Amino acid sequence: MRMSNLYLPTLKEDPAEAEITSHKLMLRAGLMRNHSAGIYSYLPLGYKVIKKVENITRKHMDASGAQEVLLPIVQTAQIWKDSKRWDKFGPLMMKLTDRKDREYCLGPTHEEVVTDLIKDEIRSYKDLPLNLYQIQTKVRDEIRPRFGVMRGREFIMKDAYSLDIDYEGLDKSYQAMYEAYEKTFAECGLDAVAVEADTGAMGGKDSHEFMVLADSGEDQIAFCDSCGYAANVERAAAEKEMIDFESEAEIEKIHTPEIKTIAELEAYLDLPAARMIKAVAMVADEEAVLALLSGEDELNEIKLKNHLAADQLRAAEEEEFAELFKSTAGFIGPVDLAGIRVVADQRLKNIRGAVTGANQKDYHFKNVNINRDFEVEEFADLRLVKDGEGCLECQAGTLNIKAGIEVGHIFKLGTKYSENMGASYLDENGRTQPIVMGSYGIGITRLVAAAIEQNNDQYGIIWPKAIAPYQIIILALGNDEAVAEKSEAIYQELKAEGWEVLLDDRKERAGVKFNDSELIGIPLRLTIGSRSLENGEVEAMIRENNQKLKLNLADLKEKVAELMADIS
């Protein structure tokens, strides 16, 4: 491609709309432009990278035996009501109606469509297993789109759906996808790790997320430094001792004017946070729920939501304390709190001698003992793990928490969709059985951003070779005829060798060309100017380390092949 013809609007300055590195660089390097919050147009260079990632993904999906299809973006509300997710996905879906007022949504994911598609075709165990995948634009009306393509409202995703006769088959399909994912991310030049994950709105049993470690990541992951356990903090559990202060003193109401937070209580009473019972007022599907935790712990909402099997979980609002909880914000507690569902963290099972809110403004109770002053029927692990805590898995290591970007997620769905939507087959005994499903996603556009987060420097992007929009860029410097001719000849020669080559033949000064080539991150740069040409040389620069070296014109294509082979 000649850059004089390329639509590549690069920016010298950081755009005001971008916050994180990948977002800034995707705009500056002319990969994309913003259309609306979380919605982008991809320009030639950006779309080329996307297609590279798609093709690598496609290759490994095909190799695993999956078959590519293309499913509808516009989906009827009916299939979502059938699967009982119309309300669960709720506001996350972009909804629309047609001229006859029939309801539709723009597909945020495609489990429903796939299940609906195959349910009339798959009749026998002989038709299974099957794995169907597609690469397509998904639409999700995110609460808060941000960081460019990292959390967009419209994004490209590869999604695959496995269909098996039983759980053993599902395990095999899942394993095949797991391995295909490892190969895909490795080939894209990404350092990705699989971690145990929550299944969220997908439902189902096992689930792994593939994470690219990066400080800008939105997810927190706990890693054991000893046994290799790795899990999203949404799910991670740590080794923690039970709490009990072994007090039998009588419960006592104390005056705590304007003392509402754990931190204020600590200071006011001169007691450690572990002494407090933190009571968090939540509303789960419009039912009031009080979560109890140690004052030193934080509530993990995902764990509570899973325990309650709730569709929606949110914090109670100020006004709801009185109506729903018959209490007051800042002073809520489990004592004398009739009729409210209470779930306590398992660490509190035997707690005695604690401080907790008295459900009365400006008052707390002290010397509170469980089973004497209040009853709890439900215990669960509700706490968020913290950096440095002990690993529950091996009982030896320490958990470290790092930020990561979720680029892939695989789920064992089981029979949830097939049962709700009536997708079944006849087994060898002629009995009707639900199809056992799995679901597997890769965020293609997010992966591009993650690749940039992991591969950049002060000058711009450093593309891994496999997903670079072009592999080689030739800079023709100056107005010298001989330079232009030689550059063109080398451009043709390298193209003939099968390389993807950019020729910077623009009427720009050397500095502009150097800077743009670094910004757009092409792995290998060849600089051709009148000086070096006199010596029968061109200058090469390797983008991944910015090392420069001289190459002889005589054996240029051999040397280029050698250099490219060494570039990662």
Partner RNA sequence: CGGAGCGUGGCGCAGCUUGGUAGCGCACCUGCUUUGGGAGCAGGGGGUCGAAGGUUCAAAUCCUUUCGCUCCGACCA
Contact between 479 and RNA by CB under 7 A: the answer reads yes
Q: Are strands 436-443 and 456-457 parallel, antiparallel or unpaired?
A: unpaired
Check if the beta carbon of residue 171 is closer than 8 Å to that of residue 178: no
Residues 346-375 interacting with RNA (rule: CB under 7 A): 357
Question: In this structure, what DSSP letter does residue 136 have?
Answer: E
**108: contact with RNA by CB under 7 A:** no
* Candidate ranges 9-17, 80-88, 104-112, 168-176; the one touching RNA (CB under 7 A): 9-17
Q: For RNA, which stretch binds (CB under 7 A), given 117-125, 168-176, 424-432, 506-514?
A: 506-514
Angle value at C-alpha 200, between 199 and 205, nearest 5 degrees: 25
Angle, CA 312 vertex, CA 239 and CA 98 arms, to 5°: 145
Q: How far is the CB of 88 from RNA (least distance, A)?
A: 17
Q: Which range in 16-24, 174-182, 484-492, 494-502 contacts RNA by CB under 7 A? A: 16-24
**How far apart (Å, rounded) are the C-alpha atoms in residues 21 and 25?**
6
Q: Of the listed pieces 240-248, 297-305, 447-455, 491-499, which binds RNA according to CB under 7 A?
A: 297-305
CB-wise, 396 or 510, nearer to RNA? 510
- The single residue among 129, 145, 334, 414 that binds RNA, judged by CB under 7 A, is 145
CA distances for 109 relative to 209, 322, 351, 424, 509, angstroms: 16, 39, 44, 21, 48
**CB half-sphere exposure, 164, CA atoms < 13 A:** 19
- 387 in contact with RNA (CB under 7 A): no
Task: Read off φ and ψ for residue 356, nearest 5 degrees.
Answer: -155, 165
d(CA 222, CA 200): 18
Instruction: Pull the structure tokens for residue 70.
Output: 């293309």
The answer to the question of residue 512 lying near RNA (CB under 7 A) is yes
Question: In DSSP terms, which residues pair with 75 in a beta bridge?
Answer: 105
Q: Which stretch binds RNA (CB under 7 A): 133-141, 205-213, 275-283, 560-568?
A: 275-283
CB nearer RNA, residue 187 or residue 298? 298
**Shortest Å distance, C-beta 345 to RNA:** 10
519 exposed, middle or buried (CB, 10 Å; 0-12, 13-18, 19+)? buried
Which range binds RNA by CB under 7 A, 193-201, 294-302, 389-397, 554-562? 294-302
**Of the candidates 518, 521, 544, 563, which one interacts with RNA according to CB under 7 A?**
518
Q: Is 200 in the site for RNA (CB under 7 A)?
A: no
Interface with RNA, residue 269, by CB under 7 A: no
332: contact with RNA by CB under 7 A = yes
Among 78, 226, 424, 530, interactor with RNA by CB under 7 A: 530
Q: How many residues does the chain have?
A: 568
The stretch among 161-169, 177-185, 476-484, 490-498 that binds RNA (CB under 7 A) is 476-484
Smaller CB distance to RNA: residue 2 or 33? 33
Report helix, strand and coil shares of the chain as percent, to nearest 5. 30, 30, 40
Q: Decide: is 229 part of the binding site for RNA (CB under 7 A).
A: no
Q: Which has the closest alpha carbon to 518: 456, 561, 562?
A: 456
> Is 12 a residue that touches RNA (CB under 7 A)?
yes
Does 279 interact with RNA (rule: CB under 7 A)?
yes
Which residues, in sequence order, are bridge partners of residue 356? 365
C-alpha–C-alpha distance, residues 556 and 568, integer Å: 20
Q: Which residues bind RNA (CB under 7 A)?
A: 10-17, 19, 34, 36-38, 143-147, 260-263, 278-282, 293, 295, 298-299, 301, 314-316, 318, 321, 329-332, 357, 384, 459, 477-479, 509-512, 514-516, 518-519, 527-533, 539, 541
